[in-house]
Amino acid sequence: MNPLIPTALDGVLMAVSTVASLLALAAFVSLVRSPSPAGRRLLVWILVVLFMPILGPIAWFVAQSRERSIESGRGTFGSCGPGHVGRLAGRGKG
What percentage of residues in the chain have a pLDDT greater than 90?
31
25 has pLDDT over 70: yes
Single-letter amino acid, residue 87 = R
Lowest mean pLDDT among 1-10, 11-20, 21-30, 55-64: 1-10
Q: What is the pLDDT of residue 17?
A: 93
Q: For the chain, state the CA radius of gyration.
A: 21
Phi-psi region at 75: left, alpha or beta (left = phi > 0; alpha = psi -120 to 50): left
Number of alpha carbons in the 13 Å side-chain half-sphere of residue 30 = 18
The arithmetic mean of pLDDT across residues 57-80, rounded, is 75
Closest CA to 17 of 5, 6, 9: 9
Query: pLDDT tens digits for 74-86?
Result: 555 555 555 555 4
